[in-house]
Amino acid sequence: MSNVIEKRVLTNLDRCIECRSCAAACHVSHAGMPVVRFAMSGVALLPLICRQCKAASCVDACPVEAMVRDENGVVHRRLFRCIGCGSCARACPFGVLPNETAGVPDQVRSTDRISGHQIPKCDLCADRTECDPEAVPRCVASCPTGALSFEDEHQAEELGITMMGGRTTGEHPFKRR
Amino acid sequence: MTVTNAQQTETKRCTLCPAGCELIVLEDGPDNWRTELPAQNVGGLCPRGAILGQLLAHRKRLTFPAQRANGTLGEVDLDGAVKTILAAAGDGAITFFLDGNVPVEEMTAVSAWCGAWDRATLCLVIEPSDEAVLSGVAASGAAMLSNADLAGCDGFLIVGDAFSANPTCARPVFDRRAEEARTPIVVIDSAAGRTTKFASLPVTTPAGMEYQVLAEVAKAAGVEVAATGKAATAVAAGKALAGCRRLGVILSAEYGRSAAWKQIGFLAGTMAKQFGGGVAVETTGANALAAVGLAGKLGAISLAEALSGDSTRVALGCDVLGMLGISEPKFAAAAAAFANRTTESADVILPVALSGEIGGSTWFVGKGMVSVPALLAPPAGTLVPSDVVAALAKSAGIAEPTIPTAAKELGAIEAEAPGEAPAAPEVGAPALLIGREAMHSGCGDLTGYGSWQQGDRPQSVLRISPADMTDAGLKNEAIVRIQTGDASVEVKVQVSPELTPGAVVISDGAAAVRALLPSAAGAALPQKVTLIS
C-alpha cells in the first residue's frame, strides 16, 4: 500500500478549446453527478478537475470520514457516508468540489434521495482505471484536442513539460509547452 | 455498469459530425442508454456525441404517427397518416425534403422511389452554407483533408470557428505547433470564436466581410485575386502563409455570416493548391459531402427551388424551418425523431429513425467511403425515411422500383467555378452574428434534448465588446432582449474583449436563435439588432 498517487489528470493550457467535452462525458457517465467544473480565468474557460492533493483538505474537513484516500492514493467519497454538508467543498483550496449538492443546478439535479444530496467527488473513473491499467478517465478520453492527459508527473522532465503550480497543495495541476 | 461489461462493448462511431469519433452504447437501466468512451480512447467525443446514447431511447422521442385536427394532435395509424398526406397532395406534386446526413443507401432508396413516381421530387437538405462552401472547394479542385492529413501541414488558414464546429480538428493544429512554435495559424472569424484565441495571426474581420478579408490574405500571400492589399492584419497573415510548403485550410461555414461561402470555398481551395496543401471542411452534419456530391446524380433539386414551389412538402428527418429560421412555407407532413419547428407546423407527424440507427455506408470528409454500423435498432414501429416514401408511393399505386444494393460511389464532385463574390452587406451596428457551440449540432434542436445541454447553459449568452457594452449602457451578466424584425430572444450579456466593436454574437443553441436571422432561400446575412434592457 503505497498511498502515493502515480498518475494525475494534467491540463495543458495551450490546448484547451473550451469545448467542455470533459464535463459532458463526466455528466453523462456519472448518473447526473458530474465532477468536472469550469471557471473563467481572464478570457479562458478552464476545466477544474480534482488534483488529488497529497495533503487533501477535503479529507481533513469531512466530519463523517466520507472522504478517504485509497491504497492507490486516490481520494474517494464514500457514497453512504456523505451527508452533503459541503465542508469538503469549502475546504478545497482550488474550488474544484462543487458547492451545490450533486454538483449540478437544481433543474437537473437527481431526484434520487441519496445522490441528489451529496457532494460529487472525482475518483479518476475507478470503474475504468481499476479494470484496465491502460485505461484513462473519461474526461481525458473525451478530450478531442489532447489538452487533458493522464500522466505520471514525475516524468515531466522527460516529456519536456514545464509544470506549474508547484507551491500549491495540489502540486503541478497544469503544464505548458 | 462498467465499460468492461461483456457483450455490449462493440466500438461504434458517432454520426453527428464528420469526425466519426469512436463510442460505445451501453444499457444504463431498462430502456435507458448512454454513450461510453472506449477504455483506452484518446480520440475524443465532444458534448454532442456524449449525449447521443441518451437520444436513442429518450422519453420525448416521437413513437407513433399523429395528425393535427382543430389545432390538436391525435394519434392515428400509419395508413391513416398516409391517406391524409395523399389527400392533401391531391393530383399535385410532392417534394420530399430528406435529411442530407443519412447514409447513402437511404439517399439512393428515396431517389429510386422518387424516380419511379412522376409526381415526387427529392431535395437533400443540409445547411445551405455547408453546401455552398463544399461546392466552392470542389470547383477549386483542392484535395479534401482528414485530421490525419492536417497533421502534416506546416501552416494553417482557418475560416470560421472550426474548433467549435469539430473539436477534433484542433489536435493536429496543436500537434504541429508543439513541434514548431512558429507555425502560422491564421484565423478569419468575425465572431471571434474560440478558434481565434489560438491564432498566431488573428485577422480583423468586420461582420459579413469574410470573403473580402480572405481575399486580402490571399493577395498578400501571392494569389492572384482582386483585393486592395491594404488591410494590415490580413497582409501580415498573408505574408506568413506565403512561406508554407503544405498549407492546411480549415473551413467552417457559419450560418448567417456571409453570402459568399461558395467564393470563400473556391478561393481557399485555390490558395491551398498553390501552397501544396488541401482543405478540411468541418460540416455540421456527418454526411454533407455525400449529399453535395450525389445531389446531381440522384436528380435532387436545390433547397431554394423546393421551398419556392407549390408542391406538397414532406420533411424526412430534417428540421427545415428551424434550420432556416423561418415559419413558412407550410409542410403537409414531417417525419422526425423529436419535435422540432417543422413538426410543429405540419398536419401529420411521423416517427422516424435517427441517422445513427440506420446502418449503412457514409462518407467522412477526406476519408472516402466508410461503413458505419447502426448504434442500435430504432424503437419498434419506427420507420426509416425510405420506408415513409415507400408507404406513400405504394398507397398511390406505384410499383416498387429496383433499389441499388450497393452504395453509389461519390467520385469527383461536379461543380463550376463561382462568379464574382457579392458585395459585402452594409450592416448597421451592432450587427448580430450567430456563433458555433461545440455542444450543439446545427440549430441545436436535436442535441438540445441532451441532459448536459439542458443543464449546462439554460440561458443564451450574448457576447459583446466592452466598447459596445458601454455605448449601449449595459452591464456584464445583465439580461437583455435582442430583436431583429419580429423575432426576439432573451439573453445574458457577456463582455468579450476579443470581439471587434460593431458586432454582437449569440450562440447557435436552438432554432429560436436562427429566427433572428431568417432566410427562406440563399444565405442569411448579419442584421442590425436592437438591444432592449
Q: Could you read off the pLDDT of B83-115 as tens digits, one per residue?
A: 999 999 999 999 999 999 999 999 999 999 999
Reduced 3-state DSSP string for B7-24: CCCCCEECCCCCCCCEEE
Q: Which residues in chain A have Cβ-Cβ distances shorter than 8 Å to B456?
A: 20, 23-24, 27
Q: What is the pLDDT of residues B439-457, one digit of tens each?
A: 888 888 899 898 888 877 6
- CB within 8 Å: B452 and A28: yes
Q: Which residues in chain B have Cβ-Cβ distances shorter than 8 Å to A15?
A: 170-171, 174
Q: Tell me the residues of chain B between 146 and 165 that have a Cβ less than 8 Å away from chain A.
A: 163-164
Question: Cβ contacts of residue B518 below 8 Å, gap of 6+?
Answer: B324, B325, B326, B485, B487, B524
Contact in structure between A13 and A146 (CB atoms under 8 Å):
no
Average pLDDT over all residues of chain A: 78
Q: Is A19 on the interface with B (CB under 8 A)?
A: yes
- CB within 8 Å: B167 and A21: yes
Contact in structure between B332 and B312 (CB atoms under 8 Å):
yes
Q: Is B3 on the interface with A (CB under 8 A)?
A: yes
Among the ranges given (A112-116, B71-75, B200-204), the one the predictor scored with the smallest mean pLDDT: A112-116
- Supply the pLDDT for residue A130: 84
What are the cell numbers at A123? Answer: 475518483
Among the ranges given (A12-16, A29-33, B95-99, B228-232), the one the predictor scored with the smallest mean pLDDT: A29-33
Q: Is B4 on the interface with A (CB under 8 A)?
A: yes
Average pLDDT over residues A40-50: 78
Q: Does B406 score more than 80 pLDDT?
A: no
Q: Does B120 score more than 90 pLDDT?
A: yes
Among the ranges given (A98-102, B21-25, B32-36, B444-448), the one the predictor scored with the smallest mean pLDDT: A98-102
- Supply the pLDDT for residue B2: 44
Q: Which residues in chain B have Cβ-Cβ distances shorter than 8 Å to A17?
A: 163-164, 167, 170, 194-195, 197-198, 438
Average pLDDT over residues B186-194: 94
Burial of residue B228 (CB within 10 Å: 0-12, 13-18, 19+) is exposed
Q: Quickly state the pLDDT bin for A168 (edges 50, 70, 90).
A: very low
Q: Is A41 on the interface with B (CB under 8 A)?
A: no
Domain map (residue ranges) of chain A: 8-176
Q: Which fold has domain B130-281?
A: Dimethylsulfoxide Reductase; domain 2 (3.40.228)
**Beta strands across the sheet bearing B431-435:** B527-528, B431-435, B503-507, B461-464, B487-495, B479-484, B530-532
User: B185: distance to nearest CA of chain A, Å?
Assistant: 14
- Expressed in angstroms, the distance from the first to the final Cα of chain B is 49
Angle (nearest 5°) at CA B171 between B170 and B174: 85
Average pLDDT over residues A135-145: 93
Q: Which of A16, A21, A22, A177 to mutate to test the interface with B (most CBs of B within 10 A)?
A: A21
Closest-CA residue of A relative to B454 is A108
- CB within 8 Å: B3 and A128: yes
What proportion of chain B, given as a percentage, has pLDDT over 90? 67
- CB within 8 Å: B46 and A19: yes
- Supply the pLDDT for residue B6: 40
Contact in structure between B217 and B249 (CB atoms under 8 Å):
no
Cross-chain CB nearest to A141 (options B2, B37, B456): B37
Q: Quickly state the pLDDT bin for B8 (edges 50, 70, 90).
A: low
- Supply the pLDDT for residue A174: 54
Cross-chain CB nearest to B42 (options A15, A43, A141): A141
- CB within 8 Å: B36 and A29: yes
pTM of the model: 0.92
The size of chain A, in residues, is 177
Q: What is the pLDDT of residues B267-315, one digit of tens each?
A: 999 999 999 999 999 999 889 999 999 999 999 999 999 999 899 999 9
- Supply the pLDDT for residue A101: 59
User: B12: distance to nearest CA of chain A, Å?
Assistant: 15
Q: Tell me the residues of chain A between 114 and 133 that have a Cβ less than 8 Å away from chain B.
A: 127-128, 131-132
Q: Quickly state the pLDDT bin for A1 (edges 50, 70, 90).
A: very low
Q: Does B370 score more than 90 pLDDT?
A: no
Q: Quickly state the pLDDT bin for A170 (edges 50, 70, 90).
A: very low
Residue whose cell numbers read 448504434: B375
Average pLDDT over residues A16-45: 81
What proportion of chain A, given as a percentage, has pLDDT over 70? 72
The CA R_g of chain B, rounded to the nearest whole Å, is 23
Contact in structure between A26 and A48 (CB atoms under 8 Å):
no
CA B130/CA B524 separation, integer angstroms: 13
Q: Which residues in chain B have Cβ-Cβ distances shorter than 8 Å to A21?
A: 44-47, 50, 167, 438
**In a 3-state reduction of DSSP, which class is residue B419?**
coil
- Supply the pLDDT for residue A44: 74
Cross-chain CB nearest to A128 (options B2, B168, B177): B2
ipTM (interface predicted TM): 0.91
Q: Does B350 score more than 90 pLDDT?
A: yes
- CB within 8 Å: A144 and B53: no
Q: Which residues in chain A have Cβ-Cβ distances shorter than 8 Å to B40?
A: 132, 134-136, 141
Average pLDDT over residues B404-409: 76
Q: Quickly state the pLDDT bin for A102 (edges 50, 70, 90).
A: low
Average pLDDT over all residues of chain B: 90
Contact in structure between B184 and B241 (CB atoms under 8 Å):
yes
Q: Tell me the residues of chain A between 137 and 166 that have a Cβ less than 8 Å away from chain B.
A: 138, 140-146
Domain A8-176 sits in CATH at 3.30.70.20
B366: left (phi over 0), alpha (psi -120 to 50) or beta: left
Q: Quickly state the pLDDT bin for A172 (edges 50, 70, 90).
A: very low
Q: Which residues in chain B have Cβ-Cβ distances shorter than 8 Å to A25?
A: 37, 45, 50
Q: Which residues in chain B have Cβ-Cβ distances shorter than 8 Å to A104?
A: 455
- Supply the pLDDT for residue B451: 84
Q: Quickly state the pLDDT bin for A166 (edges 50, 70, 90).
A: very low
- Supply the pLDDT for residue B3: 43
CA B118/CA B164 separation, integer angstroms: 42
Domain map (residue ranges) of chain B: 12-56, 66-127+291-395, 130-281, 431-532
- Supply the pLDDT for residue B531: 86
Q: Does B9 score more than 70 pLDDT?
A: no
- CB within 8 Å: A142 and B37: yes
Residue whose cell numbers read 447521443: B52
Count residue pairs from A and B with Cβ separation < 8 A.
Answer: 142
Instruction: Tell which residue, B106, B76, B189, B133, has the closest CA to residue B496.
Output: B189
Average pLDDT over residues B350-379: 85
- CA trace torsion B155, B157, B163, B169 (10° rounding): -50
Closest-CA residue of B relative to A42 is B497
Q: What is the pLDDT of residues A51-92, one digit of tens each?
A: 888 888 899 999 999 999 988 888 988 878 888 888 888 888
- CB within 8 Å: B197 and A43: yes
Q: Does B384 score more than 90 pLDDT?
A: yes
Contact in structure between B415 and B139 (CB atoms under 8 Å):
yes
Q: Does B526 score more than 80 pLDDT?
A: yes
**In a 3-state reduction of DSSP, which class is residue B145?**
coil
Q: What is the pLDDT of residues B314-328, one digit of tens each?
A: 999 999 999 999 998
Domain B66-127+291-395 sits in CATH at 3.40.50.740
Contact in structure between B500 and B465 (CB atoms under 8 Å):
yes
Closest-CA residue of B relative to A34 is B452
Q: Tell me the residues of chain B between 80 and 119 that have a Cβ less than 8 Å away from chain A.
A: none
Q: Quickly state the pLDDT bin for B401 (edges 50, 70, 90).
A: very high
- The crossing angle, in degrees rounded to 10, of helices B128-140 and B261-274 is 30
Average pLDDT over residues B226-255: 93
Q: Is B35 on the interface with A (CB under 8 A)?
A: yes
Long-range CB contacts (within 8 A, 24+) of B211-219: B211/B258, B211/B260, B211/B263, B211/B264, B211/B267, B211/B421, B211/B424, B212/B421, B212/B424, B213/B188, B214/B159, B214/B188, B214/B264, B214/B267, B214/B268, B215/B267, B215/B421, B217/B157, B217/B186, B217/B188, B217/B241, B218/B267, B218/B270, B218/B271
What are the cell numbers at B65? Answer: 404517427
Distances in Å between the Cα of B530 and the Cα atoms of B428, B483, B523 are: 10, 5, 21
Domain B431-532 sits in CATH at 2.40.40.20
CA B233/CA B251 separation, integer angstroms: 19
- Supply the pLDDT for residue B118: 95
Reduced 3-state DSSP string for chain A: CCCCCCCEEEEECCCCCCCCHHHHHHHHHCCCCCCCEEEEECCEEEEECCCCCCCCHHHHHCCCCCEEECCCCCEEECCCCCCCCCHHHHHCCCCCCCCCHHHCCHHHCCCCCCHHHCCCCCCCCHHHHCCCCCCCCHHHHHCCCCCEEEECHHHHHHHCCEEECCCCCCCCCEEEC
**Strand partners of residue A59:** none
Question: Cβ contacts of residue A93 below 8 Å, gap of 6+?
Answer: A57, A168, A169, A170
